Structure 1
Amino acid sequence: MERSNSIDRRTFVHGAAAGVAGLALGGLPSPLGAHAAADRDAVIAKIASGHAAALTMLRDWIAFPSIAAENRNYPQGAEYMARLARDAGFANARLVPTSGKPGVFGTLDVGARTWLGLYFMYDVKQFDPAEWSSPPLEGRLVKKEGVGTVIVGRGATNQKGPEVACLAALHAFRAANVKLPVNLVLVAEGEEEIGSPSFRQIVLTPEVQAALHRCVGVVIPLGNQGLDGRVQVNLGAKGVIELELVASGEKWGRGPARDVHSSLAAQVDSPAWHLVQALNTLVKPDGHTPAVEGFFDDVRPIGDAQRRILEDAIPRMSEAETKKALGVTRWIADEAWHDSLVRLVSQPTINIEGLVGGYTGPGGKTILPHRAVAKLDMRLVPDMTAAKTLERVKAHLAKHGFGDLEVNMTGGYDPTETPADSKLVHAMMATYRKNGVDPLLWPRLAGSWPGATFTAPPLNLPAGQFGLGHGAGAHAPDEYWLVESTNPNVVGMDGAAKSFVDFFYELA
């Protein structure tokens, strides 16, 4: 089984870092007092004895996919998430209704001084079983050379594997009869894979918002390790808009109202060409620079502090490894590696995810399609907003003669930013270092997650990704999560769970 060339949007640069010395999880050098250190060791021991139960939890969850785009397993997926939360100690976990798919909310209050928010998603991407080497809902254990034993299945790394690692840590605290060093607020959604259209409704529910206001920050569990063992701490993420552009004879008032014979292209307008011509106006002749009027007006240049972080990080990143992971041989305009990384952090983008129209089966079918669809995503940087950017795209299309196109935004949110000096970031960095990893501080993830709901008003909380462990193939066939590692640089599922134990103590 080979790793797909498709790179998880949340973890783009993980495979890019240079090699790191072997990782040691034992013997944590910690300022914990003797009693707390003994408690921690007792919890860690329970992670090992609970390994089989955690693996069963993950396999069972993989077998029960919630897919928002297909309306599959709703509200059952939310109820499943709530049960997992209750089993891990969130006794009051309950469903939060929205205009879309329900969320899940719960608190675990142990009387600690510090509160931490946990963001979970219970939905997964669609899949085609024909593209997989083992059934995507089976959760089969597979030996992967140079990695170890992995569990293969849709959602294995995005995000069920890392989330189960976090839940396994909570189960270990309960099994060891040790009180958590922090209080927790859990917020989960079931629409992340369609752009989180209802997530703000969940978070701004008065009870949820009040609980989150007590937190020092919010983390999403993630297997952050590349195969070299390195991890990345991101001080933000790009925002995103996901949308469809639809050209049709009915809306246009030209072209056919149904598919017709292609010979009629001599006298009948083509909605498919109309869509292609509209798409061509969205970028400059170089094929990548956005050409929408006003698109860059709100882009804030990289500040001095972020520039220093970027320049410190770039020398630690491997161009050769990144090219290998992505299956590319050159960057845009043949620019230098350094410049391509600056672009990755600082530039908004307009990308075509897919084009659908007419006949795409075997052989030919001589038709003139009455309808064509383009699926786009746009990545946003501060101080762009999803709402204003969408209006600019609509205005641009109308100005250029394409006001008839349907513009259907299916999801999206604004960029996130988290201060480097926040308690959350300090705790992440310290936990990684105590586990033998020198983390790479990075200004902004090129991918997106709905953390803006936490980092923007009214909450204004630090937020980011945390966790040791490794997985790959998110959104792609043969997605996997590492269960038992044979790679000395990378931890398996138990090591990922241990990282959460250490993080909780560090944050406290």
Structure 2
Amino acid sequence: MAASVFGRRAQLGAIGLTAFALTAMASGMALAQTPDRAAIQVQVAKRHDTAVKALQDWIALPSIAAEDRNANQGAEYMAKLAREAGFQKVEIVDTGGKPGVFATLDAGAPTTVGVYYMYDVKQFDPAEWSSPPLEARIVDKPGLGKAIVGRGAANQKGPEMAFLTALHAIRDAKQKMPVNLVLVAEGEEEIGSPNIAKLVLRPDVQAALKKSIGVFMPMGLQDPDGAVTVNLGAKGVVELELVADGNAWGRGPSKDVHSSLKAMVDSPAWRLVKALDTLVSEDGNTITVDGFPKPTPLTATERAQIAKSVAARDEATARKSLGVPHWIDDLSWEKANERLVSQPTINIEGLVGGYTGPGGKTILPYRAVAKIDMRLVPPMTRDGAVEALKAHLKKRGYGDIAVNVSGGYDPTTTDADSKLIQAQINVLRRNNIEPLLWPRLAGSYPGFVFTQPPLSLPSGHFGLGHGGGAHAPDEFYLIQSTNPKVQGFDGAVMSYVDYLYELGATGGSSAAAK
């Protein structure tokens, strides 16, 4: 789902992979349980061109759930990639919506790790791009290096291909896989994962995941400024439409009519605007929905994590990248970030109604739609938020306005002491970098299905490399870095190699993973 600059593209600081290994050896701390890292790195370099071409081919096949585009083909391609990477059991799963993929790789290891993938991408308008969004051209990015530009490059096919390449490289180097893997991949993340539970909680999938110490999602998390962030949760999300319709209302027109008739005919469009106005405060920044749960206050630990993190990040750079001159209420950098982590939101993604083309077309539309997303924080739930919204509209006299939910899920939280997160911290600390812990992403992913019962597993994100433009034109993923603080594709691949061996060194099962 959508994420701010502080969201799913959270900063992960600079780690030079070669320097990383040298630092580890110099300090007497060999990379955890890696039999022959150099041999693996040789295979990564050998596979570079093949892997980049495979990424370009994957980008050329867009699976767009919102447009019902290539859902089956996307699942089949995902299954093919998993088989080629060494997963012995690969199955396309019928979820009742877009299909998912379930795969297992049994390495005979004592530790099992879950991996979450999404193979769907957001919609795109080619006219807004500097190069065709499905061609995945490699272009120069000033200050970064050479990058692939294409829909899905950063979110999430680039990082996912880097992880798969790590599996190829370990096998090609004739090294033992340090962990068993359980892969779940869905094709509906970009519409709010409406059927993720049907995939993950199917009895055999659930049983496989229960053996794991946690579930992680590959991501390109490095930012050019060098900050290093480990994320401990994410906001939940609900995507929906509010629809005002003259037929349902029983007032206004039942079809578009001439605008001169507004003098004697009610307007569904204005009705929608008035209803929307009841959902938030006058400035639009505070939710005023009756019965909407109050957010859990930040703990002292969370405030300290935020303070430490924002001190390492540049406010002016953040404002410039967003094109934002001021934060809400002219808050300070630290207070704005506290609000980012702790507060729910109701956002208008778009307003659609009547005529929106060139020039004027004097009509009174019979129907108007607001596309809405709600971001949720504990103790809020998807179902609770939707019910509160419906009850609020009914109470305020807007019960005729339809609430059409397309997807969504609860927020998620993972303990910093879990093996999944500690392995990330250990990998980073071996380069003498103290990671910054971030309480909750402002963006969303369906981690709730892993962190909540019946699985109750840690869930997070990991991966070096850099990308940008998720959900926007000119989305990109860095392939060859000229920035010494950021890894290119091969460095990202090696970060997954190191993480897998670090996870393998943790030992134990899910019972000890919390």
- Give TM-score, length-normalised by structure 2: 0.94
Partner of 1:374: 370
SS in 2 for 1:149: strand
Q: In the alignment, is residue 294 of structure 1 matched against residue 280 of structure 2?
A: no
Q: What is the aligned counterpart of 1:464 among 440, 454, 460?
A: 460
Contact 1:16–1:321, Cα closer than 8 Å, also in 2: no
Match of 1:384 among 377, 380, 387: 380
Q: Work out whether residues 20 and 228 of structure 1, in 8 Å CA contact, stay in contact via their aligned partners in 2.
A: no
Say whether residues 1:357 and 2:341 are aligned partners.
Answer: no
Does 1:84 pair with 2:76? no
Deviates more, 1:436-445 or 1:186-195: 436-445
Alignment match, 1:216:
213
* Residue 113 of structure 2 corresponds to residue 132 of structure 1: no
Quick one: distance in 2 between partners of 1:109 and 1:422? 23
Q: Show the counterpart of 1:169.
A: 166
Give the Cα separation in 2 of the matches to 1:489 and 1:455: 32
Secondary structure of residue in 2 paired with 1:317: coil
Q: Deviations over 1:233-256 (max 9, x none)?
A: 111000001100001111111111
CA distance, structure 2, for counterparts of residue 19 and residue 55 of structure 1? 22
- When residues 310 and 225 of structure 1 are mapped into structure 2, their CA distance, relative to the original with a 3 A threshold, is same
Distance 1:51 1:94 in 2: 28
Could you give the per-residue CA deviations for residues 172-224 of structure 1, whole angstroms, max 9, x where no partner exists? Answer: 01111111111111000000000000001000001100010011111100000
Q: What is the letter of the counterpart of residue 169 of structure 2?
A: A
Q: CA RMSD in A?
A: 2.1
Report the Cα distance in structure 2 between the residues aligned to 1:14 and 1:106, rounded to whole angstroms: 26
Partner of 2:201: 204
**Alpha-carbon spacing, 1:34–1:191, altered in 2? closer, same or farther (3 Å):** closer
The aligned counterpart of 1:416 is 412
Map of 2:264 onto structure 1: 267
**Contact persistence 1:229–1:437 (CA under 8 A):** no
In structure 2, the CA distance between the partners of 1:38 and 1:388, relative to structure 1 (3 Å rule), is: closer
What SS class does the counterpart of residue 19 from structure 2 fall into?
coil
Residues 97/84 of structure 1: CA separation in 2 closer, same or farther (3 Å cut): same
| 1:29 correspondence with 2:24 | yes
Cα distance in 1 for residues equivalent to 2:29 and 2:36: 10
Q: CA offsets, 1:237-290, max 9 Å, x none?
A: 000011000011111111111111000001111000000000000001121100
Distance (Å, rounded) in 2 between the aligned partners of 1:432 and 1:359:
53
Amino acid at match of 2:7: F
CA offsets per residue over residues 151-179 of structure 1, 9 Å max, x none?
00000000000000000000101111111
Q: Secondary structure at the match of 1:184?
A: strand
Distance 1:176 1:16 in 2: 31
Pairing 1:12–2:4 present:
no
Give the partner amino acid of 2:292.
F
Report % sequence identity: 60
Residue in structure 2 matched with residue 3 of structure 1 by the alignment: none
Aligned residue number for residue 111 of structure 2: 114
Tell me how far apart the structure 1 counterparts of residues 454 and 8 of structure 2 sit (CA, whole Å).
31
Q: Within 5 Å, which residues of 2 pair with 1:446-465?
A: 446-465=442-461
1:93 aligns with 2:99: no
Q: Residue 303 of structure 2: which of 283, 292, 307 is its match?
A: 307
301-310 vs 212-221, which moves further: 301-310
Match 1:406 to one of 402, 407, 415: 402
**Change beyond 3 A, Cα 1:59–1:34:** closer
Distance 1:19 1:496, change over 3 A: closer
CA-CA distance at 1:311 after TM superposition: 2.9
Contact residue 136 and residue 153 of structure 1 kept, 8 A:
yes
Q: Greater CA deviation, 23-32 or 338-347?
A: 23-32
Q: How many correspondences in the alignment?
A: 502
1: CA distance, partners of 2:368 / 2:32: 66
SS at match of 1:376: strand
Aligned residue for 1:168, secondary structure, equals: helix
Q: Provide structure 2 residue ranges, at least 5 long, that are not aligned to the other structure.
A: 505-514
By how many angstroms is 1:308 displaced? 2.8
Q: Which runs of 5+ in 1 are unaligned?
A: 1-5
- The correspondence for 1:256, drawn from 250, 253, 256, is 253
Q: In structure 2, what is the Cα distance between the partners aligned to 1:387 and 1:114?
A: 35
Structure 1 pair 391–36 and aligned structure 2 pair: CA distance change class (3 A): closer
Pairing partner for 1:344 from 334, 340, 343: 340
1:497 lines up with 2:493 in the alignment? yes
**C-alpha spacing 1:13/1:105, structure 2 compared with 1 (3 Å):** closer
Task: Tell whether the 8 Å contact from 2:156 to 2:219 is kept in structure 1 after alignment.
Answer: yes
CA distance in 2, matches of 1:67, 1:499: 29
**Alpha carbons of 1:190 and 1:323: their partners in 2 closer, same or farther (altered >3 Å)?**
same
In structure 2, distance between residues paired with 1:398 and 1:262:
28
Q: Distance in 1 between matches of 2:14 and 2:315?
A: 12
Distance 1:374 1:270, change over 3 A: same
The answer as to whether partners of 2:12 and 2:230 remain within 8 angstroms in 1 is no
Cα distance in 2, alignment partners of residues 390 and 149 from structure 1: 44
For residues 108 and 15 of structure 1, the distance between their equivalents in structure 2, rounded to whole angstroms, comes to 29
The answer (yes or no) to whether the contact 1:195–1:412 under 8 Å persists in 2 is yes
Specify the alignment match of 1:247 in structure 2: 244
